[in-house]
Structure formats: structure tokens, C-alpha cells
Structure 1
Amino acid sequence: MSVLIVIPARYASTRYPGKPLVELTGASGEKKSLIRRSWDAAMSVSGVDKVVVATDDGRIKTACEAFGAQVVMTSETCENGTERCSEALANLEGDYEIVVNLQGDAPLTPAWFVEDLVQGLRNTPKAEVATPVLRCDGRALNGFLEDRRNGRVGGTTAVFGADNQALYFSKEVIPFTADTFADDAETPVFHHVGVYAYRPSALSAYTQWSAGPLEMLEGLEQLRFLEQGRALLCVEVQARGRQFWELNNPEDVPRLEAMMADMKLN
């Protein structure tokens, strides 16, 4: 019943080259790279047997090894983090029940998001992949809408059925609502948290499929599973007073730093 966390990280990001090595200042004033903060987040998760960084870049490898991370080198041809996780798994010894993809641009991911995700996949035998979703409050939803008004790609939203099986993911804000919400009000929109838990068989199958039109249009790797008719479970997680955001664009750096200051995260 072992669990592996893989943190995929690439230097040549289209929207933000060198993103894993960007430094973020915590509440104490200490600066740490994005990849270091993502590693620290992974190491705080309980019930995990191994954590590795998967990259194709020597600069990231050097930086990670300097703070004690185990690094698995993967090829430059990996199209996304899921493909990089699949290659990392193939290059590692060991038999893992569940592989978690904790993307290297989400350092504010609380440990319980991953713990609840793994438990959700274990509790749902028909699901091959699971991913967390977080109900947006008004502040988060308004941040999404502000990004879209300014032509920025912000977070991803998810819609799912009564059985919690994913119906769609989009970089647009879905479902549409004409209502306005106070900062602390619940909304009908769910933020897709960029973490995945896979059964190894799902990772192996993923690399055999070509990217479909929806994946290419949205630039969202998880849509490949939906386009192939595979069950993808959405696991609702609770914020417990924590703010959450990914680093997608340079403009997100001050946003994340403000959140860390507000939550007193060093």
C-alpha cells in the first residue's frame, strides 16, 4: 500500500521560463525557490514512502540536490507532468500502489489535500485517477474573474457529477454564474487543485494515448483521461482557513507572497 510523490519540474515553461527556481519570500523574510517550497510541501504529507523531483534540466537538478532532494532525470520529450511522472516511475525501483503528482508550481498545497486525495482513490476502486477540488469563496472566484478580464490564465475550474466523477476542467470559469459574491461567501465554482493521484496502470496507459483536441485547446493534461472515457474522481477538500493558489504567471509571485505573509508561512 505504498505511495510515491513525484514533483515534476521543467525549466522551459512557455508562460514563465525558469519558474521552478524563482524565489518566494515567506512571512519571516526568508527566500526559498519555488521547487524548494514544493518539496517542503510534499515532505509534510503523512503516509508517503518516497518523494522525488522529476526534471530534464541540470540547473533544477543541482538546485534540488543542494537542499537534499532526490532527483530523477527524465527526457525533454515529456509533454506534461503526467508523462514525466510515468517516466519517473519507470526509472525507479519499487512497487507503488499510488503515485501522486504534486506539481512544482503549487507550494501552498496543504498536506491534508494530498492525504484526502490518496484516501479518496483508495476508497473508490473504479477510479483510476483522482484530483482535489476546492470550493471557491468569493475572494477566490473574483480573483479568477479578474485574471480573465485582464487576459491572464489563472487557476483551473472543475465540474463534476453527483458521483464526483469529473465532467470537465477548464481555464475558463465554469460553471457560469451571473451572481456576485462577498469575499467570504460560498460559490458554485470549484477550483481544481493541480495535484493528481494515479494507479500505476493509469500512468502506463496515459503515455500510449495521443493528446486529444480538448487537451490541446485547454492545455490541461487531465483531459486526456476524460477524452479516453476513463474515470477521474474529484475529491472535495477543505481549506481549513488556508488560502491556495498556483504560480502560473510572474504576476502571481506577489499574490503568493501576500498569502504566505497572511498565513504566517515562512
Structure 2
Amino acid sequence: MSVLVVIPARYPSTRYPGKPLVELRGATGVAKSLIRRSWEAAGAAEGVDRVVIATDDDRIRDHAEAFGAEVVMTADKHRNGTERVAEAVAKLGGAPEIVVNLQGDAPLTPAWFVEKLVQGLRADKNARMATPVLRSTGKMRADLLADRAAGRVGGTTAVFGHDHQALYFSKEVIPFAAAPFAPDAPTPVFHHVGVYAYRPDALAAYATWPEGVLERLEGLEQLRFLEHGQRILCVEVEARGRQFWELNNPEDVPRIERMLAEMGVA
């Protein structure tokens, strides 16, 4: 049994060109690139056998190899990270038990998110892929709503059934709740964490399917699985006092740097 983590990274971005190379300062004031912090986060998870960065950009490759990462060059035609991960896995060969896609814009992903995700997929033999969800506090929900009100594409939310099978994912804040929530109070809104675990055959099949309508409208790659009738397991994870946020816009840089400082991450 083996677990392969692939971090897809591309230089062009509509909202934030060059994002993987953006430097973030931690608690000690030391600056590390976004892609390096994501790579370090992947390596901190127990049970991970190999971590690879998949990119189509020479600048990202050179930078990643300089800090010791293994890099696989992929085509520049991919529409999302899952397609890039699928090509990387095919190039690497072998037969990993589980492939984890750790998004390169999620440097605050705790190691136990990845660990619990792998455990969840191993336990549910019917799920083709799995992804973590984090119950939002009143403050996190308010931050998500503030981003949407300002016209920024912030975090993604997820809704799922009693069996934890995903019903839908959206960049809107769902489900709607009219009642206000105290900052520390739990809410019915689950923040989707940008990590995916796939069975290799499901990942290979994904790359052969056309882009779905919902996937294109929302800009969420995992919706292609739902549009093709595939079961996605939502694995609820706990923050354990850690803050979590993805880097989606330039405005997120000071927010993430503040979180790194508050958590004491170098």
C-alpha cells in the first residue's frame, strides 16, 4: 500500500498570476514561497510515501528543485489540477494505492487533514474519491460572506447527506442560513478544504471525461465527478485550534501571513 501526494502548480492565473512563487512570511519573518510551504505541509503527513510537484512552468520547476522537491513536467493544456495530477501519475508509473492532490494554494493544510482523508477513503470501499470538510464557525462563515459581498472568489462550501456523500460544492456560501451566529459558534456551513484523495482508476477515468457544465460554471474541478455519478466522500476534519485559509487572491497574503504568525509557523 502506498500514498502518493501530487501538488499541481501553474504560473498563469486569472486572479493571481505567478501565485505559486509568491512569498509568505512566517512567525520568524522568514519568507518561503507558497509552493514550498504547500510541499512542506504535504511532507508533514504520516503515511505519505512520496511527494511530487506537477507543473508546466520552468520557473516553478527550477524553484522547486532548488529547495529539494521532486518535479514532474506536465502539459500546459490542463483545465484544472486534477487533470494535471492524472498526467503526473501516468508519467510516474507504478501503482499507488491512493493518490492525494494537495492544492498548491493551501499552505495551512494541517497534516492530520491528509491523514484522515486517506483513512476515510480506505474505510469506504464504494467512494471513488474523498475530500475534507471543516465545519465553519460564525467568524469563518462571516469571512466567506464578506468575500462574496466584495466580489472576491473566496473559499468553497460543501453540502452532503447523512452518509457523508457529497451533494454539491459551491463558491457561494451554502446552505443559506438567515440567523446570525456568534463568532465562535458552530454553523451548518462546511468549508471545503482543497485536498482530494483518489483511487487511481477513478483519477485516470476523470481525465477522459469532458468538462461538465456545473464544473465550468463554478470553476470547481470535483463537480466533474458528481456530474458523472461518482461518489465523493466528505470527510469531516477538526481544526484543533489551527486556522485555515487558501490563497485565492492577493488580498489573502496578509491574512495568511497573520495566521502563520499567530500559529507560530516559521
- Say yes or no: TM over 0.5: yes
Q: Name the TM-score class by shorter chain.
A: over 0.9
Residue equivalent to 1:219:
219
Q: CA deviation at 1:180?
A: 1.1
Q: How does 1:110-125 map to 2 (within 5 A)?
A: 110-125=110-125
Q: Which amino acid aligns with 2:134?
A: L
Question: 1:80-105 CA distances to partner (integer Å, 9 max, x unpaired)?
Answer: 00001100000003210100000000
Instruction: Give the match for residue 27 of structure 1.
Output: 27
Residue 65 of structure 1: how far off its partner (Å): 0.3
Residue type of the alignment partner of 1:128: R
Q: 2:94, 2:211 → 1: CA distance? A: 29
Aligned to 1:187: 187
Query: What does 1:1-266 align with in structure 2 at a 5 Å threshold?
Result: 1-266=1-266
Q: How far apart are the structure 2 equivalents of 1:144 and 1:26?
A: 23
CA distance in 1 between partners of 2:174 and 2:37 (Å): 29
Query: Percent identity at matched positions?
Result: 71
Cα distance, 1:14 vs structure 2: 1.3
Specify the code of the residue in structure 1 equivalent to 2:185: A
Residue 250 of structure 1 aligns to a residue whose secondary structure is coil
CA RMSD of aligned residues (A): 0.5
Deviation at 1:78, TM superposition (A): 1.0
Give structure 1 regions of 4+ aligned residues with deviation exceeding 4 angstroms: none
Please give the alpha-carbon distance, in whole angstroms, between the structure 2 residues aligned to 1:109 and 1:246: 9
- Residue 208 of structure 1: how far off its partner (Å): 1.0
Unmatched runs of 5 consecutive residues or more in structure 2: none
CA offset digits 1:38-75 (Å, max 9, x no partner): 01001101101110000000000000000000000000
Deviations 1:134-160 (A, max 9, x none): 000111111001101101010000000
The count of corresponding residues between Structure 1 and Structure 2 is 266
- TM-score, normalised to structure 1, is 0.99
Shift of 1:133: 0.1
SS in 1 for 2:174: coil
Q: Mind listing any 5+ residue stretches in structure 1 that lack a counterpart?
A: none
